[in-house]
Amino acid sequence: MGKVLVTGFEAFGGDLVNPTELMLKWIRDDSKLSSVFDTLILPVEFSSAHEIILKHQNLDSYSAILSFGLAAGRAKISLERVALNWIETSIPDNAGISPKLGPIDPSAEKVYFSKMNIESIRDDLKAAGLSVEISLTAGGYVCNHLYFQLLKAKLKQPVVFIHVPYLQAQVFDKPAGTPFISESDLRKMLDVLMQSLRAN
């Protein structure tokens, strides 16, 4: 297996941290993880996030692409099966842009499916005791927009978008009962993904 490109996002929506950005730091600081994963932090911007990946000078060298984003309110690690040709958001991106409701690309397919073996990844994460699901919606914000553009590009390597919950440290000022994930479980997820991708 060649190296895997792992992307995450900067903080957005009033939060001071994005767990996916923290994950990339863990990868860079861990020689075992960084031997398998390359990292790329993305701006939370409709216009540029996908372009940064698609113009990456080493893009063709990667065996797979794992893109991570925060899904506020979700309780499980979510493996996104599909990307929708749709924008629907109530908040602007970090560039202050609020795209209008509607299709991302009227000339493209309405939906694109990941070619990653997400069932195998789900089973490996479950076997490690992690709370995980296969999701049929990546939302209508920058995460889905990025995923749609990557899948529409029909890259040679499989791509999957993975949403993660808030970190525990992020929910102290959120409504009671807001779901979260521990840092230890996020770290475990990275270790399991590394082993799962090596085996497939």
- Among the listed residues 45, 80, 109, 183, the single catalytic one is 80
Nearest to 38 by CA among 22, 55, 58, 16: 58
Q: Which two tokens stand for residue 84?
A: 């929708």
- Among the listed residues 45, 50, 143, 145, the single catalytic one is 143
In the annotation, is 51 catalytic?
no
Nearest to 11 by CA among 45, 37, 35: 45
Residue 70 near residue 18, CB atoms below 8 Å: yes
Distance CA 145, CA 43 (A): 13
In the annotation, is 183 catalytic?
no
Residue 111 near residue 151, CB atoms below 8 Å: no
In the annotation, is 163 catalytic?
yes
CA distances from 55 to 58, 153, 155 (A): 9, 12, 12
Question: Which residues have CB under 8 Å from 43's CB, separation 6+?
Answer: 9, 10, 49, 52, 94, 95
- Among the listed residues 45, 50, 145, 163, the single catalytic one is 163
Which residues belong to the active site? 80, 143, 163
